[in-house]
Each structure stands twice: as C-alpha cells, then as structure tokens.
Amino acid sequence: MTQRLHLVFGGELVDPSENVFKSVDDIHVVGMFPDYASAYGAWKREAQRTVDNAHMRYFIAHIHRLRDEETAASPTEEIGV
C-alpha cells in the first residue's frame, strides 16, 4: 500500500501576493501527515490561528508526488545524499 504523505508548513511572506518567505530560518513546520484530510485539518488550524497577519501563509506539500514508486531509482534517489 502506497502512503500519501503530506507536509504542512508556513511562515511570513515578503509580499502577500507572492510565495517568497521573509526568512527561511523562521519557516514553521507543522508536521507530516499520512493523508490529505489530516493535512488539511492541520493547515486550516494554522491558517485560522494566523488570520490577523496578512503576510502569514501555510501550505500543503504533496510529498508522495516526489517519488515515482514504479521506477527503480526515482529522481530524488539520484541526488546521492
């Protein structure tokens, strides 16, 4: 069974009309979630908590899309960490 991992993260943006973080060091990593529904719940809680700051944005990253399970060596494995 394939896991559909999702990462929820956010922080203050330089300009609310663009997705550029003011400080990468200050990015808030909310957590990794096993499905979209739980990631969405976490995203919604953080977005509502910071609603008074127009520069704050939270995102859901679909981590499972970074891996091609059908290929022996996916592009992320080729990096050679």
- Global pTM? 0.77
Domain assignment present for 23:
yes
Burial class (CB in 10 A: 0-12, 13-18, 19+), 33: buried
Domain span at residue 41 reads 6-72
Local mean pLDDT, 10-residue blocks, the chain (81 residues): 86 94 96 95 96 95 76 53 48
Which CATH number is 22's domain given?
3.30.70.2400
3 state DSSP class of 77: helix
DSSP string, 3-51: ---EEEEEEEBSSTTS--BS-GGG-EEEEEESSHHHHHHHHHHHHHHTT
Domain assignment present for 57:
yes
Q: What is the pLDDT of residue 50?
A: 94
Q: What is the pLDDT of residue 4?
A: 86
Number of domains into which the chain is organized: 1
